[in-house]
Structure 1
Amino acid sequence: MFFSVRRVSVVLTVALLAQLGLSLVTQPKAAVAAEQVDLKLNVKSAILMDAASGQILFEDRADTPLPPASMAKMMTEYLTMEAVKSGKFSWDEMVTTSQNAADVIGSGGLLALNEQVSMKDMFAAMSIYSANDASVALAEKIAGSEEEFAKMMNAKAKEFGLSEQAHFINATGLSRADMGKYAPKELQGETLLTARDAAIIAYNILKDHKEVLEYTSIPSKKFREKDKTPMINWNWMLAGNKDNINFKKYAYEGLDGLKTGSTDDAGYCFTGTAERNGMRLISVVMGTPKEPTRFEETRKVLDYGFSNFESKPILTAKQEIDSLKTVNIKKGVATQVPVVTQTGVNFVVKKGATPDQFTITAQPVEESKLVAPIKSGDVLGTVKVTYQGTEKVANLIANEDVEKGSWFRLFFRAIKNFFVDMVTGAKKE
């Protein structure tokens, strides 16, 4: 029987679709809503986030815009570390204190007009002691003026995908009234963040500049060696305070950051982060009525997280995926190559989570990339794991080399495949 090129094309198309069908797993089920709990918090808003993925584990009015006070300095920290990491500035570079920096009210009071201090020491003062003067000095060093720096903060907020209400007017978190004659002329309004916004900023700091913890974990440090007294970290919950007679009742195992804040308008706020058993969490509480309350409420939030969730490995590196053990390749000595995961995939899950709550799908890369030669480690596909609406993706890589086939081998393979297709087609008629 005569088979046209069109018929052969149809046969090949059907075979390709069948192969793709075998490579894909059923689409994930609808996300299961997270359990609602009442932690009886004395806060205006709160949130708990997994620091590795950004997965939300708990929230209480987390999208309410509120003044964050000095928690706004997390964005100042991020932009400062970014400026140094990019090579625009160095930690040893000197920063000169302007009149604005010397005059700023609130925490700090460390710098005199025209005093010169290294960027590293300024950063330490901001991160440990929440120093407003050091924050302003760093902002002016990086952007030329504090208002221009605030514009950079707002640009980064958009880049992070913060809420539409997120807004910065300065590097410190002070209100416009507290800034006095140094209040911005172009930027209007007040600094506002939601608890979710604060958590997202913390998430990005820990993802891109985890070295911040080298500063935020320090309970106390002298600003200058000649100083009689050290700067005391406003974060009473630091694990390093476990032997401090004043703060040991608040010290929390594994807690090493991140930023406190308080003003009359904001009340007492705190973005904390702690790590236990390989799981790092980010907590935010805003608008608590008293200084100790922010730490007491943070303990409730973190305790809930560590008591009820765990980091669970769903996939390990070099693991074979049942739905896509091999990938078809063209022009190779072999026609298929085994694939395995490039990295593992972990989820923070409710303790006792069962395998049926995770959906795993896998698919190869586009066909044009599946051509020999193939080297072990080449990315040939992806695997996606879905849990309660959260997705994580890992690469699938070749587990062995496949050399390019000779023209002789490929020629006879094409002839063989042609006749196999003809016989297969004849049997179907």
Structure 2
Amino acid sequence: MRENKEGSKTFKRKYAKGRDYFISFMILLCLFVIPVSAFAEAAKIPSIQSVNLELRSAVLVEPVTGQVLLSINADQAYAPASMTKMMTGYIIADKVKKGAISWNDVVTVKENASQTIGSRAYLALGETHTVQELFTVMLVHSANDAAVALAEYVSGSEQQFVTEMNEEAKRLGMEKSYYINVSGLDRTDMPLPFRPQEQGENVMSAMDVATLVKSIFQDHPEMLEVTSMPSYQFRATDREPFVNTNWMLESNKDSQYKKYAYEGLDGLKTGFTDSAGYCFASTAERDGMRLISVVMGTKSMSKRFTETKKVLDYGFDHFELKQVVAAKSTPKGMEMVLVKSGTKTEVPVLTEQAVSFLVPKGSDASQLSYQTNFVPQELTAPFAAGAKAGTITYTYQIEGKDMIQEKTVNMVAADEVEKAGWVRLLFRSIWEVVSGLF
């Protein structure tokens, strides 16, 4: 009986010891093997070819870093169709912002607008609407006639407004863009008396469209609010509101277009002509990261949305925007800068802004490898805390990708420093001479 008890105790001790070994092994597996494999999986980004896009050109841009995540013929100029109206709207919004016109100004429809075909608000000669009303129906329903009416009100004629559009495109760096009208119609579809004499058609590259969208965010975010409207009641007498041509709006998740609704998508502009095919410039935001997608030359109305989903999914599934340096932090080895004529000879410095990079989704920011280049400048007292003390440039490249991200921020003084008295400066000069001798 005693032997049985001793044997049982021995078995229990061995069992407990084996159990402890197993638990320890599993803990190590969770702490080491799983995170490493997870990180490796997170850092693996598929090729653009794997997206299997069916279109003429496309681009995907993250606007904060300016990184291009996907590019297919993105610098080639093609007919943009009604994506043209984003430039028309940009200029209208700019003139309102500068006080040249008001949203409440009343516009009288002229002959050119009343004869404009295609997608339209059915404006009649002599009909009147406010700038705000025409602006909204132009962007929500892609009304060609509303775009023409606005242009003629602002500049006297459509062609004079087009001159401003081409000038603005140059200013924004849109090198592959050229406009002959404000609507995006082909030349042969414009009312004959109002066609431009010079040859050519509207053209834009996908990259230029993305540049324009980024400028809209920065300069006229109110345009995004308009393009996010699922419908718009243009006239009180209209039997039904005009429906937004953008089926991918997140707000469509409970509508007839729910199969196309995309999480976080809140704009911007569709387009179609026979020469352009079906196009779509869109933007969506998830988890604090916004992406700009442009697809051009798809083969059907629904295809422009399914291809856009592929493009946006590629970005949101494989990338994220991560802060790698906090604002008011001190980079290692760059803690101080020299001070001239101050009560102190040096002062601690901090980054003025945070630094964020686009990284493979799931990456550990603390493990990212990036380069720094600190260019200090000597400060002369007196100065307040926050005085510029140089610049620091952070450079990061995703392993295996060509994209190089670079961000330069100011380094600023952490403390104020007062000017030293002449006695202190005299003794400091003497000490510097003496210490230099020895």
TM, length-normalised to structure 1: 0.86
Structure 2: gaps (5+ residues) = 1-44, 398-403
Q: How does 1:12-411 map to 2 (within 5 A)?
A: 36-38=47-49, 39-163=51-175, 165-185=176-196, 187-244=198-255, 246-353=256-363, 355-365=367-377, 367=378, 370-388=379-397, 389-411=404-426
Contact 2:112/2:191 (<8 A) preserved: no
Higher-RCO chain (CA-CA 8 Å, sequence separation at least 6): 1
Q: Distance in 1 between matches of 2:372 and 2:169?
A: 33
Q: Distance in 2 between matches of 1:183 and 1:415?
A: 82
Alpha-carbon shift at residue 357 of structure 1 (Å): 3.8
Output one character per residue of 1:72-116: Cα deviation in whole Å (capped at 9) or x when no partner: 111111111111111212211222211111111111133221222
Contact 1:259/1:270 (<8 A) preserved: yes
| Residues 349, 157 of structure 1: alpha-carbon distance in 2 compared, 3 angstrom cutoff | same
Q: Tell me the matched-pair count.
A: 385
Contact 2:115/2:191 (<8 A) preserved: no
Q: Distance in 2 between matches of 1:292 and 1:56?
A: 25
Q: Distance in 2 between matches of 1:333 and 1:373?
A: 9
Q: Distance in 1 between matches of 2:226 and 2:395?
A: 36
- Specify the code of the residue in structure 2 equivalent to 1:305: G
Output one character per residue of 1:308-344: Cα deviation in whole Å (capped at 9) or x when no partner: 0001101111111224211112111111111111111
Q: Distance in 2 between matches of 1:183 and 1:43?
A: 32
- Identity among equivalent positions (%) equals 46
| Counterpart secondary structure, 1:311 | strand
Contact 2:372/2:392 (<8 A) preserved: yes
Greater Rg over alpha carbons, structure? 2
TM, length-normalised to structure 2: 0.85
Structure 1: gaps (5+ residues) = 1-33, 424-429
Q: Distance in 1 between matches of 2:309 and 2:58?
A: 12
After alignment, is 288-297 or 190-199 more displaced?
190-199
| Residues 53, 184 of structure 1: alpha-carbon distance in 2 compared, 3 angstrom cutoff | farther
After alignment, is 51-60 or 213-222 more displaced?
51-60
- Specify the code of the residue in structure 2 equivalent to 1:421: G
Alpha-carbon shift at residue 35 of structure 1 (Å): 6.7
Alpha-carbon shift at residue 183 of structure 1 (Å): 4.4
Output one character per residue of 1:157-189: Cα deviation in whole Å (capped at 9) or x when no partner: 1111123x3211111111111113244435430
